[in-house]
Chain A
Amino acid sequence: GAGVSQSPSNKVTEKGKDVELRCDPISGHTALYWYRQSLGQGLEFLIYFQGNSAPDKSGLPSDRFSAERTGGSVSTLTIQRTQQEDSAVYLCASSPSGGSEEQFFGPGTRLTVL
């Protein structure tokens, strides 16, 4: 596609449920990033994938959060046993080969945990 796409655009869930958020990076981009933007706060780095290398998970806030990237393309961010503090906009970005190149962002998924 022409840009980074994310689905769903909005997700409302009940506390304690699991959710999956999807990101389709720009075709050919080997680097993929997940960020979280909470209300009134800046973007917070969550996880980084680069090719076949082990992902940098240093930003994941707890073990309820996990992410995978299948076939070096699509990525899924999973949040287990969601809490109200998980409510935020989750943004995905990709870049051609990582290493601090320009990042291109998707429109985000707005997650609301009731």
Chain B
Amino acid sequence: KQEVTQIPAALSVPEGENLVLNCSFTDSAIYNLQWFRQDPGKGLTSLLLIQSSQREQTSGRLNASLDKSSGRSTLYIAASQPGDSATYLCAVDFNTGNQFYFGTGTSLTVIP
């Protein structure tokens, strides 16, 4: 069964800290992996998309890595800010091209 798991479910850090969010998936044969953030009551905002041939993608203070062999991806957030507080979702396309399988997310709180 194709599954995506995110640990921890919730994380609280003081402002300015660097942090890592984890995503694991059950099948190494993937098309790509996408990280999203979701603010309360809002839709999803795409952060980074990593194709299966890539090992990482960077955007500003965000860096996402992909290790297909171990079925893991990490989202690194540098110098966290209160505005980073949101739920972060990892989504994987397991070679279907039709849909993403989503983890249940990590709820991040950055304390001023």
Does A51 make an interface contact (CB < 8 A)?
no
Does A12 make an interface contact (CB < 8 A)?
no
With contacts A41-B104, A42-B4, A59-B99 taken as known, whether A100 is within 8 angstroms of B43 at the C-beta atoms is no
Interface size on A, residues (CB 8 A): 28
CB nearest neighbor in A for B105: A42
B12-51 interface mask toward A, CB cutoff 8 Å, 1 = contact, 0 = none?
0000000000000000000110101000011111100100
Contact B104 A42 (CB under 8 A): yes
Contact B97 A102 (CB under 8 A): no
Residues of B within 8 A of A65 (CB): none
8 Å CB contacts to B: which residues of A57-114?
59, 91, 93, 98-108, 110
Contact A99 B97 (CB under 8 A): yes
A32-67 interface mask toward B, CB cutoff 8 Å, 1 = contact, 0 = none?
010100001111110010100000100100000000
8 Å CB contacts to A: which residues of B52-107?
89, 91, 93, 96-105
